[in-house]
Amino acid sequence: MINIKELQSYNNVEANVDGILLDDKAQKARFRLLGPLGKAYNIVVYICSSPSYIARFRALAGRIIPMDNYTRWNSWFKMLQVLLLLKAYVKEYCVEFKNKLYKDLLDFND
């Protein structure tokens, strides 16, 4: 069951909740509440979390997936559009890093 209050706090994910700064694990769990979109977001965040991860994905796909941001209203759309365009490479990347991305792996139902 999706908790609506958790989803409404998307804009505050990097901010604190009840005075407590959310750690990386809590942020990922919160995005998973969005379902497949949140899982896709977590995959992109993982890819962009390290220069070596970015280099590995760029070697596979020839480009990177743009991250969302707060200043562009269509940044989620752009991120998902490129992710779908490169889905074969994303899948290959996820298989390679399945030990780290196992909670965010997208399946046929997603």
Picking from 43, 60, 58, the residue whose alpha carbon sits closest to that of residue 97 is 43
57-81 CB burial, b ≥16 within 10 A, e <16? beeebeebbeeeeeeeeeeeeebbe
Would you say 6 and 32 are in contact if contact means Cβ atoms under 8 Å apart? no
- Which neighbouring-strand residues pair with 21? 16
User: What does pTM read for this prediction?
Assistant: 0.77
Taking the domains of the chain in order of start, what are their residue ranges? 4-104
Give the whole-angstrom CA distance, residue 65 versus residue 80. Answer: 8
Would you say 98 and 105 are in contact if contact means Cβ atoms under 8 Å apart? yes
Average per-residue pLDDT for the chain = 82
Residue with tokens 């743009």: 66
pLDDT tops 70 at residue 68 = yes
Please write the tens of the pLDDT for every residue from 9-47.
555 554 455 545 567 788 888 888 888 888 999 999 999
